[in-house]
Structure 1
Amino acid sequence: MDGSVKKLTADSATTAQELTEQLCANIHLKDRYGFSLFIALFDKVSSLGNGGEHVMDAISQCEQYAKEQGAQERNAPWKVYFRKEVFTPWHNPTEDPVATNLIYHQVVRGVKCGEYRCDKESDIAMLAAQQFYVEYKTTFDSTLISNVLPNYIPDQFLKSGGDKSIGRWEKLVVEAYKKSYYLKERTPDIRAKEDVVSYAKIRWPLLFSRFFDALRMSGTELPKNHVIIAVNWTGVYFVDDEEQVLLELSFIEILSITVHRSAQAQAHSFTMATVQGQEFVFQCVSTEEFDAIITYMQDGLRRRSQYLVATQDYSPPGLWGIVLGIKPPLP
């Protein structure tokens, strides 16, 4: 994500988890959860996750695909990336500067190439100002900022306006830069990186999701049966092939998940029950991985939470009602 290249040892049995652990040890990454391996070939990018997926199998599939496209297998231009895939609800960018630096570079590169899109020009200007501070930590220099601005502003915004666009963006970025607290307080550049990471977590929860291809078999109906289930720090989203959100559930609304294993991997399924009384049965190849991520999120929230969800009206009698501040019902 930061542009560096690492050499790792792998064989035909090496899993994504093993390669991830090897890499994390190499770069001294402590806050490892939510980082995954991705493999890219041409314009296709697939997540290998950080579990039991065999890395060499994925590379072999890339080589086979390249052969089908007319290229030589041995020259297939595949690349393996290490990226932040999903945040936890309790993610704190101050806990591990190595993780924060990696995510920061992933975000600013993603904004530049259009992977992550901002709705407001002020947000783009602020992100550019933060990058300028991280790289230069200097007061305003019109020549310098004009030269580096094309490295920060997304291409689609620069192509439409030409030289006039550069001038307008320079003004916006300078204003954001001069107003920034990190310039006024001369904070370490890691503070600006932490702000970028926090912004990305809040702004693009769906883009920082673990995705599962699923088919609804029975239970509560949805507008479509074939869905993509996106799990991120805000909860679980059911999305159709047109990227329309069909249903959204917070983690506290998920009552239970029961995994149904089959002799055939394609027939694995799970049942998910909600506090509203809904029950969904989905067929999914990665049922155990889905169950694991939901369990991890819920357990983490329980350990950090002092709240519960009420499914119906209830007035506790006697002492508990007084302690909770609930008045008993009138006779």
Structure 2
Amino acid sequence: MSSKRRSASTNNPPELNREGGNSELNPSLRIDCGISSVDCEEGLTPEFEANIGLVEEEQNEITEIFLQIDQEKEETLAKLHFSDYVKTNFSTANNGSFTENAIKQPLIEKKHELDKTISVAIFVAIQKFMGDVVLTRPNKNTNDRVPIMTKVYRSLERAIKVSRRASVQNPTNNNKESKEYLSYKLKKRNSFLKKFTRQSSNTDDREEKAKKKEKLLREKFDNEPTDYLYDSGPAGVIANLPATEMEILHFIIGHAILRKDIRDELFCQVCKQLTNNKKADSCKKGWVLLSLISGCVVPSGRLFRYIRCFLRDAPKEYHDYSKYTRKIISRTAANGMRYHPPNWLEYQTSLARQYIVLPITFADGRLESIEGDSATTSAELCNRLANKIGLKDFFGFSIFIRVYDKISSLGSGMDHVMDAISECEQVVFGRGQKTEDAPWKIFFRKEMFSPWHDPSYDLIATELIFVQIMKGIRLEEYKVRSEEELARYAAIHYFIDNGCELDEAKLSKSLSKYLSENCLKWGRTQEGWTQAITSSFHEVCQEGKDTGQFKQEIVTEAPKKWVLQFAGLFEAFRIGGPKLTKNDVIVAVAANGFYILDEPYKIKAVLYYYNIVEVFASRAGKVRGQSFTLITIKGDEWTFISPNSQTITKLISTFLDGLRRRSKYAVGLQDFILETKQSKFSFSQGDVIQLVDEDSQREHWSVGINEKTKVKGCFPFDSVYVIPSLERPPDEFLNTFVNMKQDTLSRPKKRGAVVLSTGTIGRHNTHGLDTVA
């Protein structure tokens, strides 16, 4: 619960201020928004995008590592050297110095045979990248358009299935490797969640369903192609190593992203090849590789301190490389590990040890260049852009990236910008083109609104949103209901551009600026559109509004008219609550409520905010991962699994809290009577109370007017439920309180009786996200 919510009190009511005022402030919020992706190339399915995630334990480990950076004293580190780690942890068959020979076993002991195979193969890949060995790849398929990351992922899936199939065929065999690795994979990858949890809700027929599951798994296994990386051991992997430097990078670092137990091995292998290496060119490539690895993953806490020592002890001629890598690895530890290997832009800037310059396009066509690095997140980018243009109200503004006709939202949270660029390059690669020619473009635009958005608070933000809407209407991103409505938008746009002087000839020539190609081609004639817009233009001028007022009007209408186009979209899986025809859903957090979609924009259910009592996130189990639950006023409990559970919960909690603080409506949870010498105030269960902002209100008490009796009076907070809504909810909803039993009313009584406050989250530090339930 918010620290601003208070419990009920039996203290005496305050004296009424009969001239109580009303003040309302506009919010300026920042919340982490999840990524929602539209359309994918072959080999880049939504499941694949979601599957390369980090489990919660790894995120905790990253936090511990980052704290270690600050806490560990330099004098302590001065006593440590990477060679100490080599002596303690390397296998007896390996030393810590450069070699041109292949290794026969991993540097660090591995539990799983798969990790041993990967480790031996990666060492050869590192040698190839650094130029220490020359390998030829015979019979290379020039039409192979499957990204290396996809091949690695599919091969890892195959390896799990092989191990699992062996367990199925021999139930008595306690295949520890299969169970441990599969358990880890299930925790980590969302597509497995979708495949398996559907069939595990009923424990009575669990055994029968397990048999069906294994049969389907075996059938799919038998029908899949056999050209996988690990089927022939290390020799087979080495024989199929990719040819180009970028592909080798993806092969090396991709394994570290997907396999936690490979990360320390990878860092150690590169450090080994940089130790006592007399080849200058080899060393330079090795340092570049180490910086690129550090920009994607971090070693375990045990190894991290020794990597710091290795960077500290770098030879003078490579001091710039080590300094650059130290910054990168610290940033990765702070912002979290990556989901995709480095992109071409990262590789080029790493060679020059420079920051990455990202061109960002605004809705009004403006272009701003922002410096970034491998760890740059969408939140950092949004903050820098907002500061650069003087944006005050930047809640809901997000980073978008486009390649060809595919668009993805990175939100404004912890998603890595470089991951998005890597995905774009994989799409380009899938089309048979060079990754360095990837035509990606990054945008900064409005993605969602708060329920109480005030366009007058930040005119810079309003201008950006207005331009985005008008451009979206012209491109048919935002649909209008009729030609008359479209003519009005065009008329307002023309008025803003030219004032109240209408030149029909000029308007006729500039119709393409206001209307889509389809409208001009299939709708009215050019003369017909000119006449329609002219008629609307005269009506617009008669309204007496200035350009600023029209812009604010259009921005205010946007989240109501295009609810789902201005909402945060997230993938989810329903595991509790009212039944749906499909459990795999998309959920939308919009300005007016929570939407459940069967597919984009096909609404299956809506929970308006006034219907929601509480939302909270929790773990649904080791396999299922993070979940969130919504509790409605009628007691329904909707529960969903989503990798964005925390983000969704924060958004909805903040909206509910903010709406209650601004609400002017409450409903009685019990019969209440207060008699004083001067007056008598009462209400019954289900009566609607119009809340009044009173300067003299005392703690635990509020002031309101009973809609039925029109009498103003005081009442304790816990006797009413403050409705999270800026407008009066429909009678159908309000009537549900009249006949509710007291035990049913206990939930809103506990969770909904909140302090009436005009404070605005985001503009008042005491109401920040850290205080939200």
Instruction: Check whether TM > 0.5.
Output: yes
Deviations 1:271-307 (A, max 9, x none): 2221111112211010111011111111211221132
Q: Quick one: distance in 1 between partners of 2:641 and 2:675?
A: 48
**1:139 Cα shift?**
1.2
Q: Kindly indicate whether the alpha-carbon contact (under 8 Å) linking 1:265 and 1:285 is maintained by their aligned counterparts in 2.
A: no
Q: Quick one: distance in 2 between partners of 1:68 and 1:37?
A: 24
User: What is the DSSP-based 3-state SS (H/G/I as helix, E as strand, rest coil) of the residue aligned with 2:489?
Assistant: helix
Letter in 1 for 2:484: S
Correspondence for 1:295: 653
TM alignment of 1:1-331, pairs within 5 A: 1-161=363-523, 165-181=525-541, 185=544, 188-241=546-599, 243-261=601-619, 267-308=625-666, 314-317=670-673, 319=675, 323-326=681-684
Using a 3 Å threshold, how does the CA distance of structure 1 residues 148 and 259 change in structure 2: closer, same or farther?
Answer: same
Q: Kindly indicate whether the alpha-carbon contact (under 8 Å) linking 2:586 and 2:600 is maintained by their aligned counterparts in 1.
A: no
User: What is the DSSP-based 3-state SS (H/G/I as helix, E as strand, rest coil) of the residue aligned with 1:223?
Assistant: coil
Q: Quick one: distance in 2 between partners of 1:56 and 1:212?
A: 21
TM-score when scaled to structure 1? 0.90
| Superposition misfits of 4+ residues, deviation over 3 angstroms | 261-266, 317-320, 324-327
Q: Quick one: distance in 2 between partners of 1:195 and 1:70?
A: 47
User: What is the DSSP-based 3-state SS (H/G/I as helix, E as strand, rest coil) of the residue aligned with 1:7?
Assistant: strand
Deviations 1:223-277 (A, max 9, x none): 3211111111111110102632111111122222221248979722122221111
Q: Kindly indicate whether the alpha-carbon contact (under 8 Å) linking 2:569 and 2:589 is maintained by their aligned counterparts in 1.
A: yes
Letter in 1 for 2:650: A
Q: Quick one: distance in 2 between partners of 1:134 and 1:219?
A: 49
**1:141 Cα shift?**
0.9
**1:130 Cα shift?**
1.1
User: What is the DSSP-based 3-state SS (H/G/I as helix, E as strand, rest coil) of the residue aligned with 2:372?
Assistant: coil
TM-score when scaled to structure 2? 0.40
Letter in 1 for 2:671: S
Q: Quick one: distance in 2 between partners of 1:180 and 1:66?
A: 47
**1:138 Cα shift?**
4.2
Letter in 1 for 2:611: E
Using a 3 Å threshold, how does the CA distance of structure 1 residues 64 and 266 change in structure 2: closer, same or farther?
Answer: farther
**1:89 Cα shift?**
1.4
Letter in 2 for 1:122: E
**1:121 Cα shift?**
1.6
Q: Which moved more, 1:104-113 or 1:212-221?
A: 212-221
Using a 3 Å threshold, how does the CA distance of structure 1 residues 288 and 79 change in structure 2: closer, same or farther?
Answer: same
Letter in 1 for 2:537: Y
The structure in which a higher percent of residues are strand is 1
Larger radius of gyration: 2
Deviations 1:102-149 (A, max 9, x none): 011111111111111111222111110111111111412111111111
Using a 3 Å threshold, how does the CA distance of structure 1 residues 17 and 263 change in structure 2: closer, same or farther?
Answer: farther
Q: Kindly indicate whether the alpha-carbon contact (under 8 Å) linking 1:66 and 1:72 is maintained by their aligned counterparts in 2.
A: yes
Q: Kindly indicate whether the alpha-carbon contact (under 8 Å) linking 2:586 and 2:598 is maintained by their aligned counterparts in 1.
A: yes
Percent sequence identity is 35
Q: Quick one: distance in 1 between partners of 2:601 and 2:553?
A: 28
Count of residue pairs brought into register by the alignment: 322
Letter in 1 for 2:501: T
Deviations 1:3-48 (A, max 9, x none): 1111001101111100100000111111111111111111111110
Q: Quick one: distance in 1 between partners of 2:604 and 2:448?
A: 21
**1:192 Cα shift?**
2.2
Q: Which moved more, 1:149-158 or 1:15-24?
A: 149-158
Q: Kindly indicate whether the alpha-carbon contact (under 8 Å) linking 1:114 and 1:155 is maintained by their aligned counterparts in 2.
A: no
- Aligned-residue Cα RMSD (Å) equals 2.4
Q: Kindly indicate whether the alpha-carbon contact (under 8 Å) linking 1:266 and 1:285 is maintained by their aligned counterparts in 2.
A: no
Q: Quick one: distance in 2 between partners of 1:26 and 1:264?
A: 43
Any gaps of 5 or more consecutive residues in structure 2?
1-362, 685-707, 709-773
Deviations 1:185-223 (A, max 9, x none): 4x5422222122123222111110001110012333223
**1:180 Cα shift?**
1.3
Q: Kindly indicate whether the alpha-carbon contact (under 8 Å) linking 1:252 and 1:309 is maintained by their aligned counterparts in 2.
A: no
User: What is the DSSP-based 3-state SS (H/G/I as helix, E as strand, rest coil) of the residue aligned with 1:51?
Assistant: coil
Deviations 1:147-193 (A, max 9, x none): 111210122221115xx611111111111111114x664x5422222
Q: Kindly indicate whether the alpha-carbon contact (under 8 Å) linking 1:86 and 1:232 is maintained by their aligned counterparts in 2.
A: yes
Deviations 1:28-76 (A, max 9, x none): 1111111111111111111100011111111111112211121211111
Q: Kindly indicate whether the alpha-carbon contact (under 8 Å) linking 2:613 and 2:631 is maintained by their aligned counterparts in 1.
A: yes
Q: Which has the higher contact order (CA 8 A, sep 6+)?
A: 2
